[in-house]
Amino acid sequence: MKALVIGASGGIGAAMTHQLRGDGWDVTGLSRAADGFDVRDPAAIARTMETLTGPFDLIFVAIGILAAQSSVPEKNLTAIDSDDMAHVFAVNAIGPALILRHVSRLMPKDKRGVVAVLSARVGSIGDNQIGGWYSYRASKAALNQIVHGAAIELGRSHKQSICVALHPGTVETPFTKDYAGRHKTVPAQEAARNLLDVIAALTPGQTGGFYDYAGQEIVW
């Protein structure tokens, strides 16, 4: 079995890579830290993705930021900064969309193949009860729409494909250490194992969905 993990140097991406290899998968990892894979550079994405040879049974996209490097998630509307918001959207929504442009060529057409994109429950509009975090929430909501649309398109040519957005829970990584608050956290390795269990159980009938670490569907 072959897997492609994009964002392989991050907390969840690295844990996913470790778990997959432990399960005997042949894993190709890409990251900005190790490979210079910058999702804000469309030309770099195209160059790198075009060098890959599939088919991959699993493509796992684990990229994302909570806020621009110079800022923090907004607590209110007055904190919104257009440049910071654009940065968050570039990484969390546009970057994955540019990656998804290439997955059709890299997925098997004659058997099951999964594209799993790391999203977040806070991207759910229906679940939002407290507001705030405008850039992160909105970018993840946009990502969910992109994943849903990609699933429809992939399903036309790859009948057994599964393309989903996944929420890992609040994971113990540098990404969340300053924002976990009262939320229960889980180690990255446990989160990766949970997500792999969810991925293993998915069927083509669930493509285009948004699921949490326990396999429960999340409202859009």
Residue 79: is its pLDDT beyond 80? yes
Q: Where are the domains of the chain?
A: 2-212
Do residues 73 and 67 lie in contact, with contact meaning Cβ atoms separated by under 8 Å?
yes
Topology (CATH level 3) of domain 2-212: Rossmann fold (3.40.50)
Q: What is the mean pLDDT of residues 59-70?
A: 92
In angstroms and rounded to an integer, the radius of gyration of the C-alpha atoms of the chain is 16
pLDDT at res. 55: 96
Residue 54: which pLDDT band, with cuts at 50, 70 and 90? confident
The confidence score (pLDDT) of residue 175 equals 58
Question: Tell me, what amino acid is at 133?
Answer: W
Once rounded to an integer, what is the mean pLDDT over residues 136-140?
97
> Taking the model in full, what pTM does it have?
0.93
Q: In what order do the strands lie in the sheet with 26-30?
A: 26-30, 2-6, 58-61, 113-118, 161-167, 210-212
